[in-house]
Amino acid sequence: MRLSRFFLYLVLIIFVLFYLMPVYVLVVTSFKSFKEISLRTMWIPPKEISFSSFVRAWYGDKSKGLRGLSGNFMNSVYLTVPATLISSILGSMNGYVLTKWKFKRANLVFALLLFGMFIPYQSILIPLVQVLQKTKLYGTIPGLILVHCVYGIPITTLIFRNYYSTIPSDIVEAAKIDGAGFVKIFVRVLLPLSGPAFAVTAIWQFTSIWNDFLFGLVVTPNPSVQPITVALNNLAGSYFVEWNVQMAGALITAFPTLIVYIFLGKLFMRGLLSGSLSGM
Amino acid sequence: MKTDRILSILFILPSFILVGIFIYGFIGWTGWVSMVNWRDVFPDFTFVGLRNYARLFQHFRFVISMKNTLVFTVLFLLSSISIGLLLAILLDRKVRFEGFFRTVYLFPMAVSFVVTGVVWRWILNPGTGGESVGLNWMLEKIGLGFLKSGWYTDPNIGIKAVVIAAVWQMSGYVMALYLAGIRSIPTELYEAAQLDGANVFQLYKHIVLPLLRPVTLSAVIILGHISLKIFDLVFAMTGSGIGFSCDVPALFMYDTTFRGNYFSQGAAIAVILLLCVAVLIVPYLTYSIRTEVRR
């Protein structure tokens, strides 16, 4: 029994090393100064801690034509915050109707919505670009906000629908008898109970919009408008950039969602599980 | 009462219209584009039927990318599911610091595929001039030098190197799914089995694993659809690779459409990709919604 416990922990620890290896490399490399960077020493900790990689990744280096990530970081903030809010609100409205005001064929509508969660976005990219160009939203942050709101509707609706179906319909019926109408029931009865669902949806949407790459790449060709994931890829793809700056850039890009994960891990997890349809 | 009905329709209408246009309308439009002769910056809507599809199946890059997707999907699903299940079972054996382990295994999920790609591109860098760097250096140091490889720069390995990064990112999620599944099994079942004299292995074989089948189904659906449409990870980590050894349809579609301006061909790839995903998802959605209605 002792021995099997030992192997159990051994396996778990080996996997910890596997999952943390990239983090180790990231941290060790990004705290090195340029003169310490060489592929041969990538696993060796820096001799002295230097923040110069972060400074270069953040502000860039005009003399070398290196764009910093600071502007793109802010682009991602301006994109992610409104898109998260709007898509969460739309999700709560849909969830309310789909659970408490079920109409004929409500399940069909729901299934059609859900399918939108799984489609490869390649199958809508060409018309998307055309429509955004026609409406002058192509290459702009509002354009990206619109895109993320629309393609976020399926998952936010799913989360709120699952949540609202756990709230007994008796409450709604009681409110109706008291003379409350459709809007009043939503605002006075459902919304005050919606905190947990909003938290889960917000975390899910924040993470996936922040981490998106495809829409940013296709919708915003102009580097000054691009979200940070696209900018990171450009940074890492340019020949003049040192590894330490790339790794610092990767850390900066991952930072907000990691913070969310560390501080709101339980809710993050719940978001993941509802995304898996396991709550259906 | 009637106004309430109207209001409820008004509530759902914006989403309904947006999804109708941006998902179903756009899919229809892509289908149309795939059957015209648009092969330049300027649209050309001359109908050519299925010609773009016929061309596609003769295109070596399409054939390679489809094969790669198949290899990627099989390896990615098998590894993620077996690692996820193993970790969930181990963590369920009353492990100390369980929270710590869970946090570590799951955190890659919070990171963008692009970040994963950039980091793993470096770790799997085979180095130049016979000098070992990255993972190769590490393998050499711990006496596993025979495992050294050119990773994504070796045309024979190519896409399999990308699988390592994808498993790193997603296997923790599978662990979370299984752990939630295991924890939802009523303890009476365990107790009954133990009263009947079942040992640990019998317990897992006859009670736990059969009850986890729906979780495996969800995992296959989630990982499967991610795998079929994988784009950002490959784009950031390797690009299409040497001799397109890392190429996938989503990347091929992007190159064809937005770098090559061959819109109709790109649309055809997109439609095939959509059909692949639909074959997986539609039966699953129909099934889950039906069983839910019956409940």
- A215 confidence band (pLDDT: 50, 70, 90): very high
CB atoms A22 and B116 under 8 Å: yes
CB atoms B225 and A128 under 8 Å: no
Chain A residues within an 8 Å CB radius of B254? 122, 217-218
Query: What's the Cα-to-Cα distance from B96 to each of A38, A128, B91, B99, B170, rounded to whole Å?
Result: 39, 50, 9, 8, 24
CB atoms B236 and A236 under 8 Å: yes
B166: pLDDT strictly greater than 90: yes
A136: pLDDT strictly greater than 80: yes
pLDDT per residue over B209-260, tens digit each?
Answer: 999 999 999 999 999 999 999 999 999 999 888 889 999 999 999 999 999 9
Range scoring the smallest mean pLDDT among A44-58, A127-141, A148-162, B43-57 = A44-58
Chain A residues within an 8 Å CB radius of B274? 119-120, 122-123
DSSP bridge pairs for A61: A66
Angle between helices B263-294 and B51-58 (to 10 degrees): 100
A72 within 8 A of A80, measured Cβ to Cβ? no
Distance from CA of B30 to the nearest CA of A (A): 6
pLDDT per residue over B101-154, tens digit each?
Answer: 999 999 999 999 999 999 999 889 887 666 677 888 888 888 888 888 888 888
Q: What value does the mean pLDDT take over residues A34-63?
A: 83
- A146 confidence band (pLDDT: 50, 70, 90): very high
CB atoms A253 and B269 under 8 Å: no
- A280 confidence band (pLDDT: 50, 70, 90): very low
Burial (CB count within 10 angstroms: exposed 0-12, middle 13-18, buried 19+), residue A64? exposed
CB atoms within 10 A of CB B44: 12
Angle between helices A265-275 and B98-106 (to 10 degrees): 60
B4 closest CB neighbour out of A94, A182, A268: A182
- B87 confidence band (pLDDT: 50, 70, 90): very high
Q: What pLDDT score was predicted for residue A279?
A: 44
Q: What pLDDT score was predicted for residue B221?
A: 93
Q: What is the DSSP string of A6-74?
A: HHHHHHHHHHHHHHHHHHHHHHHHHTS-GGG--GGGTTSPPSS---HHHHHHHHEEGGGTEEPSHHHHH
Provide φ and ψ at B184, rounded to 5°: -90, 0
Distance from CA of B38 to the nearest CA of A (A): 11
